[in-house]
Amino acid sequence: MNSNRVADRVREIEGSGIRKFFDIAQQMEEAISLGVGEPDFVTPWSIREACIFSLEKGYTSYTSNWGLLELREMLSDKMYNEDSVYYEPEGEILITTGVSEASDLALRAILNPGDEVIIHEPSYVSYKPCTVFAGGVPVCVATEVENEFKLQAEEIEEKITEHTKAVVLNYPNNPTGATLSRKDLEEIADVVNEHDLLVISDEVYGKLTYEGKHTCFSSLNGMRDRTILLNGFSKAYAMTGWRLGYAAGNKEIIEAMMKIHQYVMMCAPITAQMAAMEALRCNDEVERMVSEYNRRRRLMVEGLREIGLSCFEPKGAFYTFPSIVSTGLTSEEFAKRLLLEEKVVVIPGSVFGACGEGFIRCAYAVSQYEIKEVLERMRRFLERHHVV
């Protein structure tokens, strides 16, 4: 077979380290997974009911490539009321098939071959591959636990070259749970403005902020037209399988994203869009879930520390990122052996970038009972290997 049938840039990208562990755990009885960032809550009933009712009414067609206008109008109101930034429902908001598609569209819409994109690490696994697929060059900035995994404005400035086109931000962060204050973001905004850069701001975990208030990057002075704002329904509304996200920003860029979207995706499913309109009315349900995540967050952090693992206290999302350096194992070795010996799924920090080595990601989007059981299994594992 001709070895050139697969494009070099695709051949050179490794498969997702998250999905690899997920697939193993799916075939293992009694395994408890802290691997995939998926809420254990079922989508609230009123949202599911809205979907069922839409099917009963016969809403099974395509929608506009842009998405349902009524949904875009509701999102426009939401962003204005909650984030103090206004986007026109027609032309500045695009409904996508999850935030992952929105991120991919944003990169493909703005990058020319050789353009550089600054990406802070540890970071979600798709940013670098999608930059490469779009012809861009990922330029990584390591963040440190000593600084609470916060990206510093001066660290961005050090990486800027004549080829730099954009910066990717993801706060609250996956995998660390780190957040940035308004002051932190304003300092980054100053650098972005000075060097005439774009920002792709993935804020899908914005509602899962436990200390202080989340600041929407595009609401900062001068950032509205420089920012491609990404968000969705998966995390805060427990709607992962519905695959619904959205992008908002400068009309020229959003139209370019829509052009790609209309050829490769057509539109997001109408049933998910109908359900999303109900989700936007479900603030009480969101607050209930966030409150429960906060309880689990404290249980997880305290438990990890008690069994001997140093753990930064996350301020958002639903992940902890404890250090496993004391074990003498690599992140990959730790995750594999914990899975095989104690049937607990965690993700090696190394899959989120080189600076993630020495850490593991634990998603606490599981019940408090399962968290306690996982901590007991991890305690046994650490004692067996003479760490505790």
Q: How confident is the prediction along the chain (388 residues), in pLDDT tens digits per residue?
A: 556 888 888 888 777 655 666 666 666 778 899 988 889 999 999 999 999 999 999 999 999 999 999 999 999 999 999 999 999 999 999 999 999 999 999 999 999 999 999 999 999 999 999 999 999 999 999 999 999 999 999 999 999 999 999 999 999 999 999 999 999 999 999 999 999 999 999 999 999 999 999 999 999 999 999 999 999 999 999 999 999 999 999 999 999 999 999 999 999 999 999 999 999 998 899 999 999 999 999 999 999 999 999 999 999 999 999 999 999 999 999 999 999 999 999 999 999 999 999 999 999 999 999 999 999 999 999 998 766 5
Residues 240 and 365 in one domain: no
Domain boundary, last residue among 263, 282, 301:
282
Domain boundary, last residue among 261, 282, 303:
282
Residues 223 and 78 in one domain: yes
Residues 265 and 157 in one domain: yes
**How many CB atoms neighbour CB 60 within 10 A?**
10
What CATH code is carried by the domain that includes residue 153?
3.40.640.10
Helices (H), the chain: 8-11, 17-26, 45-56, 69-83, 98-110, 127-133, 153-159, 182-194, 251-264, 270-279, 283-306, 331-342, 368-384
Collapsing DSSP states into helix, strand and coil, what is residue 276?
helix
In-domain check, residue 1: no
pLDDT tens digits for range 36-94: 888 999 999 999 999 999 999 999 999 999 999 999 999 999 999 999 999 999 999 99
Total of domains in the chain: 2
What CATH code is carried by the domain that includes residue 297?
3.90.1150.10
Residues 75 and 139 in one domain: yes
On the question of a cis peptide bond just before residue 122, with omega within 30 degrees of 0, the verdict is yes
In-domain check, residue 351: yes
Domain boundary, last residue among 242, 257, 282:
282
Q: Whats the size of the chain, residue-wise?
A: 388
In-domain check, residue 3: no
Domain that holds residue 380: 8-43+284-384
In-domain check, residue 21: yes
Question: Rounded to an integer, what distance in angstroms lies between the CA atom of residue 8 and that of residue 386?
Answer: 44
89, 138 contact by CB (below 8 A): no
Residues contacting 268, CB < 8 A, separation 6+: 63, 67, 95, 96, 97, 243, 244
Q: What is the pLDDT of residue 385?
A: 79
